[in-house]
Amino acid sequence: MMRSLSEIKRFLLFIPEMIFFGLSYARFLYWARSTQILDPQETWNRFTKPKNFLWEWFLDNYPPAIMRRLLCNFSSLRFRDHANAISQHYDLSNKFYELFLDKEYMFYSCADFLKSTDTIEDAQENKANYILNLIDPKFGEKILDLGCGWGAMLKKIYETTKDKKHLYGYTLSTEQKKFIEEKYGFNVELKDFITTEYEPESFDKIYSIGSLEHVREDELLAFSKKLSQAIKRDGKIIHHFFCRIGDVIPTRLLVGGVAIFPGIDLANLKKYLDVFEQVNLGVKHHSVHDYRPTLKAWFDRLVANKETAIQLVGVQTYNKYLCYLAEAWRLFDDRDLMLMRFVLQRQDAPMALKTSVTSDASHFLQKV
Ligand SMILES: C[S@@+](CC[C@H](N)C(=O)[O-])C[C@H]1O[C@@H](n2cnc3c(N)ncnc32)[C@H](O)[C@@H]1O
């Protein structure tokens, strides 16, 4: 009975959702709400493979850009409280995330697939090494992980420095905090890193991996200013995040900011660069990376663990994650989104540290 009601609701909502939010939004939820287990191959193809010109044009251009902006603003207002928004996604179930993330670290962020034979475990190890090199942590340095997830990078740093005392992590997910405390015993606080007041010049290194995306466009300047004041003069900030490339919000991103990561309002690359400059942070390294192999690997892992996933979170949530991972892949494939890593230093850093800028796009593969 409940199942038939859900199916009726799904059909009834399609037309109004298409009119207000567009085809990409409506068809995403239409499939995600299915009470039948989705076929993985059909789902992958449905979201990642372009169809005919007219379909694609409508999908990409309706609703108009101004409407997309308003919908995004409305969703940000509705989920103004970051703790509530974060909890909806990340407190779902630690066991569920364990099913498709890498076994060693549980990174929930883009990995570096360097060889065609790399597993998600190899690729996350490659990424962890890359970022470790950027952070260059030393024993005794005070280091802060903004949005520490399940403690992946804290673990990597601790393995190098063996210094737990000076390592800190902030998250807004109670499940993640519990997981980290039980598994590693790191200093993790339930703190909104956007609204927190930081003591001036209190950290040697501050980094974020896959969490800057949660800072809304209108919060970015004030937040970045706080960070630039929170690091020591010779300190550095490392950000790994994805951003929009164009000025306009892609239609496919709408559902992400409402149903997957509620309240997200992603800025474009220009905005980040402007903000870094405005808060007197100089770019010491920038690199571009390819998110697609990670999304595909998570999709395949989730499918391989279908039965357990459904037992843990139910059919509709399982379906929603399949649709979201495939839709996200397409956003990166279309070059609507791009994954970047930056190392930033204060403009008043000692001269000795003002090394030349390094850049790297070797991980950013050709269009597949
Ligand atoms: C995509 S996960 C990435 C986790 C981890 N860095 C990794 O690479 O696996 C984003 C993380 O950012 C955290 N987060 C997002 N917004 C936050 C905020 N305003 N304050 C604190 N944590 C936040 C979430 O709780 C989550 O741990």
Band (354; pLDDT cuts 50, 70, 90): low
Looking at ligand 1, which atom is closest to the CA of residue 195?
19
pLDDT in tens, 71-85: 999 999 998 899 999
Mutate to test the pocket of ligand 1, among 211, 219, 226 (most ligand atoms within 8 A of CB): 211
In the predicted structure, residue 363 carries a pLDDT above the cut 80: no
Tokens 């909104």 sit on residue: 192
Q: Is the dihedral of CA 306, 311, 317, 321 positive or negative?
A: negative
Q: What integer is the mean pLDDT of 313-338?
A: 98
The ligand 1 atom at the shortest distance from the C-alpha of residue 176 is: 27
Q: Summarize pLDDT for 85-110 with one digit per residue, the tens.
A: 999 999 999 999 999 999 999 999 99
Which residue carries 């204060």 as its tokens? Answer: 346
Domain extent listing, the chain: 2-363
Residue 284 has pLDDT above 70, yes or no: yes
Distance CA 344, CA 324 (A): 31
pLDDT at 365 over 60: no
Taking alpha carbons only, the member of 320, 254, 306 closest to residue 65 is: 254
Q: What's the pLDDT tens digit per position in 211-228?
A: 999 999 999 999 999 999
How far is Cα 178 from Cα 176, in angstroms, rounded to an integer?
A: 5
Q: How far apart are CA 140 and CA 138, in angstroms?
A: 6
pLDDT reading at 362 higher than 80 = no
Residues within a 6 A CB radius of ligand 1 = 82, 86, 90, 107-109, 147-149, 152, 170-173, 176, 192-194, 209-211, 214
Please measure the distance between the N-terminal and C-terminal CA atoms of the chain and give it in whole angstroms.
44
Residue 145 · residue 168 · CB < 8 Å? yes
Ligand 1 pocket test target in 120, 130, 145, 171 with most atoms within 8 Å of CB? 171
Query: Coil, strand or helix: which one is 268?
Result: strand
Task: Judge contact between 302 and 325, C-beta under 8 A.
Answer: yes
What is the pLDDT at residue 257? 82
Is the pLDDT at 173 greater than 70, yes or no? yes
Average pLDDT, the chain: 95
Predicted local confidence at residue 195, as pLDDT: 97
Q: Which two tokens stand for residue 173?
A: 């997910």
CATH number 3.30.460.10 is the correct assignment for the domain at 2-363:
no
Mean pLDDT confidence for 35-41: 98
- Sort strands 187-190 and 203-209 into parallel, antiparallel or unpaired: unpaired
What is the per-residue pLDDT for 4?
83
